[in-house]
Amino acid sequence: KQEVTQIPAALSVPEGENLVLNCSFTDSAIYNLQWFRQDPGKGLTSLLLIQSSQREQTSGRLNASLDKSSGRSTLYIAASQPGDSATYLCAPRMDDYKLSFGAGTTVTVRA
C-alpha cells in the first residue's frame, strides 16, 4: 500500500518568500504524480502533473520536481502571495489509476 508523507504539516511565511513543500512516498513504481491545492470548503484544484519519466514540471510560479527512485517530490512556489494560502496535496498514481494522498501542507502567506 502506497504511503505518502508531506512535510511540513503547516507553514507560515511573509509575502514574497519562496515556498518549499516536500512529499515522500514509499512505493517508487509510480506512473505519475499530481500536486493539488485545496481551499477551505472547496474541492481539489490540479496544479501540476509530472510523469514518472520527467524530472520536473513548471507552471508560472510553480515548479515541481520528482526523484522517483528515492520516492520524493518537491513543490516550489516562487514569490508567494496571500492568494497562495491553501492546503497543498501530493498524490502519486500507480498503474491501476489510483491516487494515494498525503495529509497535505497547510500554507499561510502573511501580507
Partner 1 sequence: DAGVIQSPRHEVTEMGQEVTLRCKPISGHDYLFWYRQTMMRGLELLIYFNNNVPIDDSGMPEDRFSAKMPNASFSTLKIQPSEPRDSAVYFCASTSPPRPQHFGDGTRLSIL
Q: Which is nearer to partner 1, 80 or 93 (CB)?
A: 93
The neighbouring-strand residues paired with 92 are 33
We find the least distance from the C-beta atom of residue 15 to partner 1, in angstroms, to be: 28
Question: Could you say which of 23, 24, 34, 68 contacts partner 1 (CB under 8 A)?
Answer: 34
Amino acid letter at 56?
E
**Order of strands, sheet of 62-67, starting from the edge strand that comes earlier in the sequence:** 4-7, 19-25, 72-77, 62-67, 56-59
CB of 93 to partner 1, least distance (A): 8
Spatial distance between the Cα atoms of 74 and 65, rounded to a whole number of angstroms: 5
Identify which of residues 5 and 65 has a Cβ nearer to partner 1 in the complex.
5
Which conformational region is residue 9 in: left (phi greater than 0), alpha (psi within -120 to 50 degrees), or beta?
alpha
Check residue 40 for interaction with partner 1 (CB under 8 A).
Answer: no
* Contacting residues toward partner 1, per CB under 8 A: 31-32, 34, 36, 41-46, 49, 51, 89, 96-99, 101-104
